[in-house]
Structure 1
Amino acid sequence: MPLPLIKAVRAYVVRGGGADYHDQGEGHWIDDHIATPMSRYPEYRQSRQSFGINVLGTLVVEIEAVDGTIGFAVTTGGEPAAYIVEKHLARFLEGRDPTEVEKIWDQMYFSTQYYGRKGLVVNAISGVDLALYDLIGKLRQEPVYALLGGKVRDELTFYATGARPDLAKEMGFIGGKMPLHHGPAEGEEGLRKNLEELETMRNRVGEDFWLMFDCWMSLDLNYATKLAHKAHEYGLKWIEEALSPDDYWGYRDLKKNAPPGMLVTTGEHEATRWGFRMLLEMECCDIIQPDVGWCGGVTELIKIANLADSKGVMMIPHGSSVYSYHFVITRHNSPFAEFLMMAPKADEVVPMFHPQLIGEPVPVNGKLKLGDAPGFGVELNRDVGLHRPYPR
């Protein structure tokens, strides 16, 4: 039976936490002197919010079918992305069969290519694509993972990203990824502090627990290479997003120069199959980390995952809650997943995209079984102050 056609597309903006997980209050670990590309400027070193990391807010996309069924998704992009969805992308969905996902994605991408290709525009496309999958799942009464070919394992296994890997170990996670707090502009003293933090955590968690550094695009090749070799003494499992996402040549050299056994990972801020093709063909990393809400949505993530699989490279998506869970559980080259510790002190497991999602599952003892609710299995919290800036 054909599915009901798409009636309407709507885009909303929400502030405070949720998909824009950097939009937090004071005292949160995620905004505590973390190394960034802006750390070269002392006035922007203490807080990422000081240079505007949270200015956009969350984008919420709703797609309604003529029978009243609504699919939705959340990602980042805020008001600028809402404008793109309402004023440009909606024309490729309204009145159309929702199962035309490939054609719809193709038209959204190539119609915006002259001002898009990456960043904000692809965030908007990703939000629409995720909402479309949620709608199809609800119309077919199937979870998204079933639409993608079904589970290849019974449950998901997680590592935790946060300031307290020692607490993450107690909670059952397989590893802990720490933010790097000091960048090249803070010199040898900063490097020493980074290594001291790693040593402290290694002493707390023991030899077998994974420890990783998230460098958030903040380093240069020389510093990253030096950090990798000095951190090898403390059993660092991987060094993540050390360089600018556009520096494919630097990543290639970092991977060549990294200590034996240490993984080089990146891709959180990369987009589309073409960006990841560069990373893979230039042998820039051991693990790619696309964010399904930023790289082009599920439709594009399928292509990216297949590229990685053909190269024998693991794909461990960045964060993104249920939107990555439904994909990871269908892929052999995604053997574990990331969980962002959104409690301010990283001392408890809380829903990653709270308060925007209702029914968002969280790991228990570092593991999670996905249910069989249709779509992505969550509902939109309409009490979070939805604002539709560009109604049509």
Structure 2
Amino acid sequence: MNVPVIKQIRAYTVRGGGADYHDQGGGHWIDDHIATPMSKYEQYRQSRQSFGINVLGTLVVEIEASDGTVGFAVTTAGEIGAYIVEKHLARFIEGQKVTDIEKMWDQMFNATLYYGRKGVVINTISGVDLALWDLLAKVRGEPVHQLLGGPVRDQLQFYATGARPDLAKEMGFIGGKMPLHHGPAEGEEGLKKNLAMIEDMRHRVGDDFWLMLDCWMSLDTNYATRLATKAHQYGLKWIEEALPPDDYWGYAELRRNVPKGMLVTTGEHEATRWGFRLLMEMGCCDIIQPDVGWCGGVTELIKISALADAHNVLVVPHGSSVYSYHFVITRHNSPFAEFLMMAPKADQVVPMFNPLLLDEPVPVNGRIAASALDKPGFGVRLNPECKLVRPYEH
């Protein structure tokens, strides 16, 4: 086989929906008084956009091979990420064989160690890595999941994240995860409101439906333990990302102290095999939830998943549509997946990356057949109606 080489890499930004889930219009459940690390400040409680969750915008990475094939991916890194791609990472990509993904990842990571390691730099590397996998799979005329070893099951099954688990149950999802609305700064009254919300939703969905709580880094260990203990009577399956991502010691304590049978989950804002190694070796959680667009891409998720498998920890990636679906379908220790309900009222199933991606599969009765992922690459296209801006060139 005559292996194509990479001709050019290009980085664009785009606003509105897409990879930046939180760049949404007014009245969206995802921005409605959700508890955050900024909830300690009253003026930033009502809206996550008020403290700037949507300032970065979406990064789109395109990589063109010498045979004309183009791979692409999207993530959340915006103009900062575009600068890093064009001014720094391009030198490690252009001129390389499309097959040499492991070497390209290693060079990008090590070259950015002095200012990277986590956060927006790893988000950017993740976007490049996903575009490389999309490109290689398209060159070979195969879906990404075939490059990863092929499906181990006939379909994906999903739980839904959104404000209405009761509606998610009607739509056929296996569970529903609600956002927490009140943090420690809102005191006992806020705690009562949180518990009342959980109690009400348990009554709505019945006893046998998974019900989970997403705390988005907003709590301290004491509050999270109290919340978990008091909410145990309502059959919570897990409490998610209760603490700041660097508080490994707090997570270990929380996991020791939650009621028996309740799971502790985290990892959405963790990065690389080294970060997840800490979570697992310190006994911080029962399920890890890496975002493939933030943790280092598919190349790194392979390593993270293998490490988790050796620790008997499940891997249920943070909702990232096709970029995680192609991975989950190939892994025995990823038995189900997350679907983010991006309809403003969480009352219908819509594509997670709408309007940025076309041909994006969505669950039907809470399931997606493996055959729906059989198009080359990740199986999606960029919407030509979305206005891409290339702020930098090299």
Question: Aligning the two structures, in what range does the TM-score lie when normalised by the shorter sequence?
Answer: over 0.9
Give 1:382 shift.
2.1
Q: Secondary structure at the match of 1:22?
A: coil
1:25 aligns with 2:25: yes
The residue aligned with 1:359 is 359
- Structure 2 SS opposite 1:95: coil
- Aligned residue type for 1:174: I
Quote the residue 1:7 is aligned against: 7
Q: Which residue of 2 aligns with 1:377?
A: 379
Instruction: Give the structure 2 partner of residue 115 of structure 1.
Output: 115
Q: Is the 8 A contact 2:130 2:298 kept in 1?
A: yes
Q: Tell me what 1:95 maps to.
A: 95
Q: Distance in 1 between matches of 2:198 and 2:216?
A: 17
Letter in 2 for 1:289: Q
Shift of residue 68, structure 1, vs aligned partner:
1.1
Tell me the SS of whatever aligns to 1:96: coil
> Partners in 2 of 1:371 and 1:179 — Cα distance?
29
The match for 1:73 is 73
Measure how far apart 1:294 and its partner are.
0.1
| Deviation sequence 1:245-302 (CA, Å, 0-9, x none) | 0000000000000100000000000000000000000010000000000000000000
Aligned mates of 1:372, 1:196 — CA distance in 2: 44
> Alpha-carbon deviation of 1:174?
0.4
Segments of 5+ residues of structure 2 without an aligned counterpart are: none
- The amino acid across from 1:286 in the alignment is D
Percent identity of the aligned residues?
A: 78
Corresponding residue for residue 208 of structure 2:
208
Instruction: Name the CA distance, whole Å, in 1 between partners of 2:58 and 2:270.
Output: 19
Question: Corresponding residue for 1:183?
Answer: 183
The alignment of Structure 1 onto Structure 2 pairs a total of residues equal to: 392
Contact 2:62–2:70 (Cα < 8 Å) also in 1? yes
Pairing 1:323–2:323 present: yes
How far apart, in 2, do the equivalents of 1:243 and 1:98 lie? 39
Aligned residue type for 2:386? V
Q: State the Cα distance separating 1:372 from its structure 2 match.
A: 1.2
Distance 1:344 1:82 in 2: 29
Residues 288-367 of structure 1: pairs in structure 2 closer than 5 A: 288-367=288-367
Alpha-carbon deviation of 1:45? 0.4
Which structure 1 residue ranges, 4+ long, deviate > 6 Å from structure 2? none
Distance (Å, rounded) in 1 between the aligned partners of 2:67 and 2:324: 28
Deviation at 1:43, TM superposition (A): 0.3
Say which SS state the counterpart of residue 233 (structure 1) adopts.
helix
Measure the CA separation in 2 of the matches of 1:186 and 1:36.
12
Q: Deviation of residue 371 (structure 1)?
A: 3.0
User: Helix, strand or coil: the match of 1:71?
Assistant: strand
Partner Cα separation in structure 1 for residue 26 and residue 204 of structure 2: 27
How far off its partner does 1:69 sit? 0.6
Q: Is the Cα contact below 8 Å between 2:326 and 2:373 reproduced in 1?
A: no
Kept in 1: contact 2:144–2:378 (CA 8 A): yes
Give the Cα–Cα distance (whole angstroms) in 2 for the partners of residues 371 and 113 of structure 1.
35
Aligned residue runs from structure 1 range 217-228, under 5 A: 217-228=217-228
TM-score, length of structure 1 as denominator length = 1.00
- Does residue 1:126 correspond to 2:133, yes or no? no
1:263 aligned residue? 263
Match of 1:388 among 380, 387, 390: 390
Q: Which moved more, 1:375-384 or 1:170-179?
A: 375-384
SS at match of 2:373: coil
In structure 1, the gaps of 5 or more residues are none
Measure, in 2, the Cα distance between the counterparts of 1:58 and 1:380.
13
Output the CA distance in 2 between the equivalents of 1:380 and 1:67: 20
Q: Report how far residue 381 of structure 1 moved.
A: 1.1
How far apart, in 2, do the equivalents of 1:340 and 1:220 lie? 25
SS in 2 for 1:374: coil
1:170 aligns with 2:157: no
Q: Residue 142 of structure 1 corresponds to which residue in structure 2? A: 142
In structure 2, C-alpha distance between the alignment counterparts of 1:371 and 1:83, rounded to whole Å? 32
Residue 2 of structure 1: how far off its partner (Å): 3.0
CA distance in 1 between counterparts of 2:352 and 2:43 reads 29
Matched, 1:274 2:274: yes
Task: Quote the offset at 1:168 in angstroms.
Answer: 0.2
Q: How far apart, CA to CA, are the structure 2 residues paired with 1:371 and 1:312?
A: 27
The amino acid across from 2:2 in the alignment is P
Counterpart-to-counterpart distance in 1, 2:373 and 2:18 = 22
Shift of 1:146: 0.2
CA deviation digits over 1:4-39, x for unaligned, max 9?
A: 110000000000011001000000000000000000
| Letter of the structure 2 residue corresponding to residue 17 of structure 1 | G
Q: Secondary structure at the match of 1:38?
A: coil
Deviation per CA, 1:222-265, whole angstroms, max 9, x where unpaired? 00000000110000100000000000000000000010000000
Question: 1 CA distance for matches of 2:277 and 2:103?
Answer: 21
